[in-house]
Amino acid sequence: MRRDVFAELTEGFDALAGERMVELQTELQAYRDGLAHMLSQHDGEYVVIKGSRPAHFSATYEAALDWAYDQFGLQRFLVKKVSENEAVAHTDVLMNR
């Protein structure tokens, strides 16, 4: 019985997660495709990408995020710094079991 309830609650989750990943890949590809042009005019700024195109540029992350929420509400969008160097964060997580 418990397994059936869990399956019912998570039904459709994998499909939704897959759809979100495709959307994120589209936005990241739009960033990569437009990076050379964006660097020439917006280096160091933050870009809001909606779908497959840049929608707005701001001087700060906070300003870009505020603009995106004003325009798109809770819809999906990407905010990323226009930079030649990709920032990478690495975290090791240790779990005791």
- What pTM was estimated for this model as a whole? 0.74
Q: Provide the pLDDT for residue 21.
A: 87
pLDDT at 48 over 90: yes
pLDDT tier, 38 (very low <50, low <70, confident <90, very high otherwise): very high
What single-letter amino acid sits at 28?
L
CB 78 within 8 A of CB 49: yes
Q: Provide the pLDDT for residue 10.
A: 66
Residue recorded with tokens 């589209």:
26
Sign of CA dihedral 35, 41, 46, 49: negative
Q: What is the mean pLDDT of the chain?
A: 86
Cβ density class 43-70: b for 16+ within 10 Å, e for less = eebbbbbbeeebbbbbeeeebbeebbee
Tell me which of 94 and 31 has the higher pLDDT: 31
Q: Provide the pLDDT for residue 94.
A: 63
